[in-house]
A and B are shown apart, each in its own frame.
Chain A
Amino acid sequence: MDAQCTSKLTRRHFLAATAAGAAWAALGAPAVHAQERLITMLAWSNFAPHSDVVLDQLAQRFTKETKIAVRIDHMHHRQLIAKWAAEVESQAGHDIGVLRMHFPWLYANHLLDVSDIAEELEKKHGPWYDFAKEVALVDGVWRAVPYYYASFPCIYREDLFQQVEEPVPQTYDDLLRAGRKLKKLGHPAGFAMSQAAYDGISTLSTILWSFGSRPVAADGKTVTLNSPETVEALEWVKAFYNEAMTEEVLSWDDGSNNRFIASGRGSWIHNPISAYVVPKRKNMPIVEKLNFHVPPAGPRGERHTVTIPRSVGIWKWTKDPEAAREFVRYLFRDDVYSEYIMAGDNFNHPIFRDMENHEVWNIDPKYKVLKELGKISHIYGWPAPPTEKSQLVTNKFILPIMAAKAVTGTPIKEAIAWAEAEIKKIYAA
């Protein structure tokens, strides 16, 4: 430890480090890019993957026509919630967003007014479906343009229904009667009542609405869950749970009902058509036996179901709103729109009423019945506007928990009172 231990060595290090720091600072200077128009769009990774490929092709064609470059990013839908929150917090990010369900409402303050585009489209294609207006028209201003929707039909085993000599259920009484026989046959029906599946919220909303129950009124203030209709609906749910389903529905995740019907055990579920499309793609023999039907009517003839619509919105922080608008308009041009819709195996239904005769419905003869669904579809929270409060009711799984309580021994009135108190608390805050 002698000569080596002088400070020369360390000084050299010190100087070298300083030089490196200077070089690093120089490199950090921003590179100058040639001026070009670029817009970016963020969408979910579509469950029909081919439609993402086609979307990219369409964007490339747009660039050829207009010299505006487009970059489309896709993200898994579960990650997207946090991503939007981050972009909104930082007021920076993508120019255009493909927004699920209630997001145009949630972030209305951060989205440009696109009423001109929406109104043009309405003139061309006729009045929007109710749900399309409900998700994107915020206080009289269109904050996004409804793009396409996924539907929630009932999926049932045709062969088993024939075996127990039951027709396609038209009412919830029909369904209960059929379910009883099917469970005895060893093939129960099923819908989720758990906290691991949004499916449960979808089906329970469908049932409650059809029985005439409205958890929150259209004013978005009055909690109207505690009603004779809700009691009636839950009595049906309880009977269906005990006589047509099994306990397993209390633990289901979003994939459980698909496995349930594809394994050959289940006889009836309520789910987007993926439960049919995936076995079809995998050439499973069960597909032959599956078919769709419109959700049954409630005791007073009301029919409703849930939809997952997606809309295209332009964020306020965009630097080139004109280019963004142009691209959105392009997406809705007849040929472009049609090509996109055709790419998704009808997982993405066209959102325009005048397209109920579009060839996309002919891809599979069984799809025909699906076009009835758009007219009776709503999103979570309906008829209240889909605000952040409505979102919290959804995310806290209040409706499935209420139902799960009711079928596991809590008196129905008590279960409703619990849910009512929870919802009231959310709306009072």
Chain B
Amino acid sequence: MSGIERLGQRQARRRLWRRRGRELAKYLPLVPFLIFALFPLYFMLVTSLKSDAELYDLKAVPFLIQQGIDFGHYLYLLSTPFLTWMKNSLLVSSLSTAISVCIGILAAYSLARLRFPAANSFGTGIFITYLVPTSLLFLPLSRVIHGFGLSDSKWALVLTYPTFLVPFSTWLLMGYFRTVPKEVEECAMVDGCTRLQALIRIVLPMAIPGIVCAVLFSFTLSWNEFIYALTFTSSSEELTATVGITTELIRGDIYYWGSLMAGAMLGSIPIVLVYVFFMDYYVSGLTAGAVK
């Protein structure tokens, strides 16, 4: 091996290292963000799996489990109405999502495609209601709910969640309907289809990504909703997971951290599962609003 060759090799190796370094530098800035995003979740998981003895030991290392994994807190959840809350969440979220997306499809199609008086002001109106926060309305709305005879009932949530889901899905779907070329639809109508049929057979299939997106987001928003659920329901058997976990697992001044964290983990799992499977829709949905 000649000296020149060796020199060349060394240079190549150095170049390789430099490239690796540069490569690493791309990932380095991600580290603090990843820690910030994931550590609280990791810590919740660890806390939920610790025995009480270790959890309340001042000398223990908080982010490690050293005295063995303990499923006691998860088992404890079974002695509470936890499963009822999960079922309620599932019921309320699915129903209000179904209702809202259906209503949203109709409204969005109409606003995106049909010409009728006051269409523009409808559009603006829906947009404005999307921006009316729930915390402005929960107080008077509790009286309206009461007027419907739905105080302390999960059906009150099925009724009220569409107030923020409909504007949202309408707004999202309008964008998607606009991307379906008008000509395709007109063609179908020339062939003898009514508008409704054209909508169902032609436009909807083409807007499926948008609809999936609206369903996902509506489901997530209803599953995560807190203030309406906290205000309109109070009996244990009517509560949703978010409210049940944050209020009923806190028994006055008794120790609860382990089970609270266990509840928070399990209460998040359905949404995380949905999210893992449909992540691309999430991202496109999130960005649709911002880019369009």
Contact = CB atoms under 8 A, between A and B. Distances in A.
Direct contact of A and B (CB under 8 A): yes
Interface of A: 1-2, 5, 7, 10, 45, 47, 73-80, 82-83, 86-87, 89-90, 199, 254-255, 257-259, 262-265, 271-272, 274-275, 278, 282
Q: Which 4 A/B pairs are nearest by Cβ-Cβ distance?
A: A79-B234, A1-B191, A86-B151, A83-B234
B287 interface: no
B252 A254 contact: yes
A282 B52 contact: yes
Contacts of B191: 1-2, 5
B151 A90 contact: yes
B234 A86 contact: yes
Interface stretch (B7-15, B22-30, B192-200, B218-226): B192-200
Contacts, number: 85
B235 A264 contact: no
26 contacts: A1-B192, A1-B201, A5-B191, A5-B192, A5-B193, A5-B197, A75-B235, A75-B236, A76-B251, A78-B250, A79-B247, A86-B146, A86-B151, A86-B234, A89-B143, A90-B149, A90-B151, A255-B250, A255-B252, A255-B256, A259-B255, A262-B56, A264-B58, A272-B253, A274-B254, A282-B255
User: Is chain B's binding surface mostly helix, strand, loop or mixed?
Assistant: loop
Contact of A82 (B194, B201, B231): B231
B280 interface: no
Contact of B253 (A7, A73, A254, A265): A254
Interface string B34-62: 00000000000000000010001010000
B265 interface: no
B58 A77 contact: no
B234 A82 contact: yes
A265 B197 contact: no
B254 A5 contact: no
Contacts of A259: 56, 255
B248 interface: yes
Contact of A76 (B194, B201, B236, B253): B236
A38 B151 CA distance: 22
Contacts of B159: none
A287 to B, nearest CB: 14
B106 to A, nearest CB: 16
A278 B252 CA distance: 12
Contacts of A89: 143, 146, 151
User: Is chain A's binding surface mostly helix, strand, loop or mixed?
Assistant: helix
B188 interface: yes
A36 to B, nearest CB: 23
Contact of A90 (B146, B197, B254): B146
A136 to B, nearest CB: 23
A1 B188 contact: yes
Contacts of B254: 47, 255, 258, 274, 278
A278 B247 contact: no
A344 to B, nearest CB: 14
Size category, B interface? 20 to 34
A254 B201 CA distance: 59
B192 A271 contact: no
A258 B234 contact: no
Contacts of B58: 263-265
Interface in B120-151: 142-143, 146, 149, 151
Interface in B186-216: 188, 191-194, 196-197, 201
Contacts of A199: 253
Contacts of A274: 252-254
Nearest to A9: B197
Contacts of B193: 1, 5
Given A1-B191, A87-B151, A199-B253, 5 more contacts: A78-B247, A79-B248, A89-B151, A255-B255, A264-B58
Contacts of B196: 10
Interface in B247-271: 247-248, 250-256
A75 B234 contact: yes
A83 B235 contact: yes
A79 to B, nearest CB: 4
Nearest to B142: A86
Contacts of A87: 151
A107 to B, nearest CB: 16
Nearest to B256: A255
Nearest to A197: B253
B26 to A, nearest CB: 40
Contacts of B253: 199, 254-255, 257-258, 271-272, 274-275
Contacts of A83: 152, 234-235
Contacts of B252: 47, 77, 254-255, 274
B251 A47 contact: yes
Contacts of A255: 250, 252-256
A272 B235 CA distance: 25
B52 to A, nearest CB: 7
A275 B234 CA distance: 27
A170 B110 CA distance: 78
A23 to B, nearest CB: 20
A426 to B, nearest CB: 19
A286 to B, nearest CB: 10
Contact of B248 (A10, A76, A278): A76
A90 B191 CA distance: 57
B205 to A, nearest CB: 14
Nearest to A49: B251
